[in-house]
Structure 1
Amino acid sequence: MTTTPLILLAAGGTGGHLFPAEALGVELMKRGLRVRLVTDARALRYSGLFSKDMTDVVPSETVRGRSPWALARTGLTLAVGTAVALNLMRVLKPAAVVGFGGYPTLPPLIAAQLKGIPTLIHDSNAVMGRANSFLSKRVSAIATSLPGVLDKEPSLIGKTTTTGTPMRPSILAAAMVPFAAPGSNDPLRVLVVGGSQGARVMSDIVPDTIERLEPALRQRLILTQQVRDEDVARVRLVYDRLKIEAELAPFFADLPARLASSHIVVSRSGAGTVAELGAIGRPSILVPLPGAIDQDQFANAGVLADAGGAIRIVQSDFTPDRLAAELSALAEEPSRLAAMAAAARKVGRLDAAERLADLVMKVARLDSPA
């Protein structure tokens, strides 16, 4: 049996939760610690640090409605998940459990608390998510990506540290690529993404936007767009007719490198996307996901917009005419693109993984690896 301390990382099964967990895992392993991931079944499709033999799947359920039946089903699933997680704690005996948000973090964090194991949560958003909000009063420590997230919760400030969002090695490598503003006749590289699941609104708006651009600007475009499988054919039809050089795919495994090679990024404003745009330093047009109860994506986009690194457009204003106007204006002002890239870069924190690992070791009472 190994005596090397184990840190258990708990994360929901989307990139916004998994990627910071992976980045922390890499840093903790550099320090000689063991790591494992506990998550839901969605995470199994992601390749990266956590192979199947380093991953434990625990039953969990998101609150999908307010009906008694929906709440009862969610409660029952989380109770089963907590029972499974309690057995994991007994078998694995982690030195600490770190949660990165999403309902799949509830069972392992609750189980750890019941077992007296030190716990920590990390939240990447400008507004704390619901699962982390529930856990915040119960955990040993809280890490946030951005300052001021808990300013309205004075009882939590004493155990809160601003660390930034841990970045995967591929993002850190991309951050080393300097931004080069295009000349007035140079190719203009535009990247359109919609989060880990894609966003249909991009397929609805962007092709019509491109058609509205002046022919001279269209000829300069090198377009890369994340498109859902069911939308590829209709989007491709428009770009072929316009003779646009466009690469379309439902998912880009090399997204960090594509971010680094872009002059303008059009995207949703999930916490991970905003953090990566800051770390790499790229100008962006951000369209927050509407309808969220806590408006976290609106707040996330505001961080970059307030710094001068992004343009925030609410979805009701995200029309082909508006987007065409913004793209045209940016294309005509290379100096503005360079200034936006520099402003975004000032928001990024490249040492976040090290800062969070320091906090984890403190919470786990590990002055140095065993």
Structure 2
Amino acid sequence: MLPPPSAQEQLVFLDHIQRLFEEGEFVATYKYALLHAITELAIEFGTDSGDTLDLFHSQIADKFLEVYWRQVIPYRANDEGGVLIQNKGRQAAVIVLLQDIRGRHGTLPKARASQEWRVAVRETVRLLKEMPLWRLQILRRQESRFLYIPGAGPFIRLLPGVMFNLRRFHGLLQQLIRAAWTSHIRSNPKNAALLGDRDDLEEVLFGTDRASLALVKPILKDLQGDTCFYCQRRLGEMGEVDHFIAWSRYPRDLGHNFVLAHRRCNGDKRDLLAATEHLERWRNRNVVQGATLKRELEGQFVCDEPTTLRVAQWSYEHGFAASSQSWQRTGYVVPLDEGYRRILQERFPTPPDPAATAA
């Protein structure tokens, strides 16, 4: 296992990222989606070491499609509705592809279980190989390989240290990608009539689906015995669905990450990591009731417990390394202690190449 990159090497990586946004050419939003996808995959399947990481083209394509899934919903402004244009020319091909699939299946889990999704993954692999995979690292018309190199097979290989940096700077990268992506869509004159004067574009493009979360509430209320997940007092009608690993840290609706809490507890916890007593309760809940959560929620949300656990491991490792405070109860935070490691110690093997199921 290679050691993590030095502080100087991390600064060099950030310099390249800054150059990517300043000097890269962005005709469509594909490069933003590709960087977003690679960053999430580094969290879900990587480690905090300086090692390389091989990512299959089919893994990237699946994540790439998921990134765009929310963006095929018509954007409504001034009593008009339509899908936002993601390209300077015609609509991006991936949007056209997903519009048909969403129309047929409605939710992401149902779409991913379909034959159409497997076809879409293969088509997206072709699209990625033709365009953004080789163009992402072109800065001022010169190739600068600072993220990955093509693999000997159907994969790319993240360069030594890149996996660590993507995990270390995930929050910063997420903010940069969202801001640049939003600006790209807003600057496209073809979107002017749809956007109008509204200022919620970033939330529409990247926010969670509140309507879908409302469907989770009665399920969690029953599983939790009508008590707040955090303070353990009766909920009544006061419950709100909370992302246990905060949405701001990892913006993905994973079924096993949901809990139901009082508005006061949820609002006070906000973006903090929960203290270890809450973490242990959450982990035990997923072990004991994970199958029930999957059965009840998999039609609406991605229910992948191993991935949820890896995201939690990453989040708590980085929180501990940064000497983060953890939320214990309303108005009270405590330093995050090493007990999280025992709670989250279970490891899962890296999944096989998704191309095996897409074939």
> Normalising by the residue count of structure 2, what TM-score does the alignment of the two structures yield?
0.32
> Normalising by the residue count of structure 1, what TM-score does the alignment of the two structures yield?
0.31
Which structure carries more helix by proportion? 2
